[in-house]
Amino acid sequence: MTRPQQWRPTAATSRAAVIATTGTVAAVLAGRPTLLVLVAPLLVAAALALAGRPRRTPSVGTDFDHHALHEGQGTTSRLVLADAEDVEQVTRVASPEPFLAVRPAGGRVTGLLAAGPVDLEFSPQRWGRRVVGEEAVALTSPWAGFRWGPTTIIGDQVRVLPIGLHYASHAESPQPRGLVGAHRSSRPGSGTEFAGIRAFVPGDRLRRINWRVSARTDQLHVTTTRAEEDAGVLLVVDAIADHGRSGGVDGAESSLDLTVRAAAAVAEHATRQGDRVSLRVLGRSLSQVGYGSGQRHLRRVLGTLASIQPGSAHDGELERLQLRATEGTMVVVLSPMLTEVVATLTATAVRRGLPTLVVDTMPEDAEAGLDPAADPLLADLAWRMRRLEREQVLASLATLGCPVVPWRGPGTIDEVTHRLARRARQPHLGMR
Amino acid sequence: MTGQVIGQVMPPWTRGQWALRLVVLAGPVLATVAAGLTGDPPGRLGLGVVVAASLGFALFPESPAGTVAFATVLLTWGLGSSPSTPPGVVLAAGALVAAHVAALLASYGPADLPLDRRLTLTWLVRGAALFLVAPVVWLLARALEGQPEPAGLWVTAVAALAVAAVVATTALGPRSRA
């Protein structure tokens, strides 16, 4: 609700009243009916406007159809009026906000209250914290006699979640180490995936006996299967800087746009598979979401992603950071790989034997973020040097056995996960 | 290039707003020029003041420029030498009503506010109803023209107009919604 306002005569009422009074008085004094003909319509207009003087003070607020939004989704802002018996017309003017589309275009709408609701539709075009619904509202009484407002309605802080892109994947998790899940484990268990046939030993279930082989060999044999387990996925999101230009959900994507949307897509996919998902943000806040599964946990992950603000942590916190990933957890690093500390963290995870992959979120057309005071030539040179260093880092990671894939939308990590799963089934030595 | 320059110079009005502002500009000028139909053309100074005030009125519909423009129109007609009530005055009253209603619609919000169809139609009907008062008063004036003026005629006429306004208010005024 808003601060108290008062009804005031409109400019039209004042004009009509002044002209009608002046003209009528002049007509009477000068005996000129011509003047009375001229002002008679305005006299009636002023009388009608003044007769509709409002007696109640309305209060204005807004209500949204939805309070949780993904980027690109829209919600309707409905005007909530109380004590509005004297109101005939409403004008609403929304404040322009970055990455916030409004319908009608321009965020301006007017209409008669009796003709139906005068609504505005808002649609955030980028993830993050957005102020939605900040607007000015003015009301007028019948015959535009009096105006109330314009008064400002403070908008709501809405956390806009990154868009969730569904995709189907049959890639196995490289090292599932959970209890119950959808991934084929390397260990035998009571799953459905065929593992082999072996001689019966006490303790085997009778329904596992393979009668055809037992009859042929004159010895009891059982069919063994692989266990099915869930896996842990650790998403490491590099939010130290944002490179490139963001054009919203349908426009160009900056590095942080790609990072956040890719992380949201992987988290959603892993949650749907029943895997445990954890999130670690490398940025100003170093926020973390522990392992968990289910829709409520996914909303927590998406909410944390939506709260990301680019920036670097203070006092070497990043350098001291440890991922604390347990054995079997697949580490997905989403980064434009322009920072040494992210490369070091990734290399450490690879050396620990964790299945690790890097999703490269550097936009192809990213340019140096120019400081206005900087020499453009020097800035361009520095940017090219950073990109060269980046190529070296990516090459080094590939040498260590860490696959690097540029984000190309849903399904990007499928092929890599397949390869990691194949590699995980081969015997290897891990460094501790 | 030329289009860009024009775009920067011109106000960011919608098409509807352009139409309204043109009516606001033309109304008082037409009402002044209509005095010339009676064979009593307006003075250059008067016309100049009306044009300048109307321009200000069109740019800023809520400014006192509208009152100045309308008052100058009244002055032009009041200073005319014709003793009768010419039919041209009905045209002038219509032009003033049109300018008043257009300015009122334009001042419902910022200059780039698109017009609402229902609201515009409502005010077109209201404007037409307001305009009808002018021919009625003109007919009354013509009917009484040349007749000996009874004592208190003007006071009675103005009182009758006020009563008519009150009756119209009661009939057309706001009603509480269910």
* 8 Å CB contact of B67 and A52: no
Using one digit for the tens of pLDDT, what is the confidence trace for B1-49?
A: 555 555 555 667 888 899 999 999 999 999 998 888 777 778 888 889 9
Residues 40-59 (B) with a CB less than 8 A from some CB of A = none
A359 with A225, same domain: the answer is no
The sheet carrying A356-360 orders its strands as A288-292, A276-282, A232-238, A330-335, A356-360, A404-406
Q: At A334, which CATH number?
A: 3.40.50.410
pLDDT over 60 at A81, yes or no: yes
pLDDT over 80 at A326, yes or no: no
Give the pLDDT score at A422.
Answer: 62
A236 with A124, same domain: the answer is no
A199 with A154, same domain: the answer is no
Q: What percent of chain A has pLDDT over 90?
A: 11
Enumerate the residues of chain A whose CB falls inside 8 A of the CB of residue B158: 24, 28
Write the DSSP symbol of residue A180: S
A117 with A81, same domain: the answer is yes
List the domain boundaries for chain B. 10-147
Indicate which of A8, A22, A34 best probes the interface with B, i.e. most B CBs within 10 Å of its own CB: A34
Enumerate the residues of chain B whose CB falls inside 8 A of the CB of residue A112: 116, 118-119, 122
pLDDT over 70 at A4, yes or no: no
Q: How far apart are CA B54 and CA B30, in angstroms?
A: 11
Indicate which of A21, A24, A44 best probes the interface with B, i.e. most B CBs within 10 Å of its own CB: A44
Half-sphere exposure of A333 (CA within 13 A, CB side): 29
pLDDT over 90 at A155, yes or no: no
Give the pLDDT score at A169.
Answer: 60
Question: How many interface pairs between A and B have CB atoms less than 8 angstroms apart?
Answer: 176
- With CA atoms as reference, the chain B residue closest to A27 would be B78
* 8 Å CB contact of A52 and B93: no
Residue with more model confidence, B163 or A125: A125
* 8 Å CB contact of A19 and B173: no
* 8 Å CB contact of B133 and A44: yes
Indicate which of A13, A29, A48 best probes the interface with B, i.e. most B CBs within 10 Å of its own CB: A48
Write the DSSP symbol of residue A113: G
Residues 135-174 (A) with a CB less than 8 A from some CB of B = 138, 140-144
A252 with A357, same domain: the answer is yes
Domain tally, chain A: 3
Any B CB within 8 A of A81 CB? no
Sorted by sequence, the CB contacts under 8 Å of residue A339 that are 6+ apart come out as A238, A240, A241
A212 with A249, same domain: the answer is no
Any A CB within 8 A of B79 CB? no
Kindly provide the ipTM of the predicted complex, given to two decimals. Answer: 0.84
Using CB atoms, which residue from B66, B96, B114 is nearest to A108?
Answer: B114
A345 with A413, same domain: the answer is yes
* 8 Å CB contact of A34 and B89: yes
Using CB atoms, which residue from A15, A36, A115 is nearest to B70?
Answer: A15
Let me know if A286 is exposed, middle or buried by CB neighbors in 10 A (0-12, 13-18, 19+): middle
Q: Which of A321, A309, A375 is nearest to A346 (CA)?
A: A321
Give the pLDDT score at B176.
Answer: 43
Give the pLDDT score at A90.
Answer: 93
Using one digit for the tens of pLDDT, what is the confidence trace for B47-76?
A: 899 999 999 999 999 999 999 999 999 998
> A118 CA to chain B: closest CA distance, Å?
10
What single string gives the DSSP state of each residue in A335-364? E----HHHHHHHHHHHHTT--EEEEE---T
Q: Quick check: is A168 in a domain?
A: no
Q: How far apart are CA A357 and CA A335, in angstroms?
A: 11
pLDDT over 50 at A432, yes or no: no
User: What is the identity of the amino acid at A409?
Assistant: G
Tokens read off for B174: 């706001």
Q: Quick check: is A141 in a domain?
A: yes
Please give the helix or strand (H or E) that residue A400 lies within, else none.
helix A376-400
Do residues A339 and A386 make contact, with C-beta atoms less than 8 angstroms apart? no
Query: What is the pairing mode between strands A100-103 and A89-94?
Result: unpaired
A299 with A325, same domain: the answer is yes
A280 with A396, same domain: the answer is yes
3-state SS assignment for residue A410 = coil
Sorted by sequence, the CB contacts under 8 Å of residue A296 that are 6+ apart come out as none
Residue with more model confidence, A123 or B36: A123
A6-A9-A11 Cα angle (round to 5): 130
What single string gives the DSSP state of each residue in A66-80? -SSEETT--EEEEEE
* 8 Å CB contact of B78 and A35: yes
> A293 CA to chain B: closest CA distance, Å?
49
Q: Quick check: is A34 in a domain?
A: yes
Q: Quick check: is A177 in a domain?
A: no
Question: In A158-188, which positions are buried (b, 16+ CB within 10 angstroms) versus exposed (e)?
Answer: bbbbbbbeeeebebbbbbbbbeebbbbbeee
* 8 Å CB contact of B141 and A30: no
Using one digit for the tens of pLDDT, what is the confidence trace for B71-93?
A: 999 998 888 777 678 888 899 99
> A26 CA to chain B: closest CA distance, Å?
8
Give the pLDDT score at A350.
Answer: 86
Q: Quick check: is A170 in a domain?
A: no
What rounded mean pLDDT belongs to chain A?
82
A145 with A277, same domain: the answer is no
Q: Quick check: is A430 in a domain?
A: no
* 8 Å CB contact of B113 and A91: yes
pLDDT over 50 at A239, yes or no: yes
Give the pLDDT score at B100.
Answer: 95
Using one digit for the tens of pLDDT, what is the confidence trace for A168-227?
A: 565 555 555 555 555 555 666 666 667 788 888 888 888 888 889 888 988 888 888 776
> B1 CA to chain A: closest CA distance, Å?
25
* 8 Å CB contact of A19 and B164: no
Q: What percent of chain A has pLDDT over 70?
A: 83
Using one digit for the tens of pLDDT, what is the confidence trace for A39-62?
A: 999 999 998 998 888 888 888 888
Give the pLDDT score at B64.
Answer: 92
* 8 Å CB contact of B78 and A30: yes
Domain of A76 in residue numbering reads as 1-161
Please give the helix or strand (H or E) that residue A389 lies within, else none.
helix A376-400
Give the pLDDT score at A138.
Answer: 93
Write the DSSP symbol of residue B107: T
Enumerate the residues of chain A whose CB falls inside 8 A of the CB of residue B159: none
Q: How far apart are CA A165 and CA A263, in angstroms?
A: 10
A215 with A150, same domain: the answer is no
Any A CB within 8 A of B158 CB? yes
Give the pLDDT score at A369.
Answer: 63
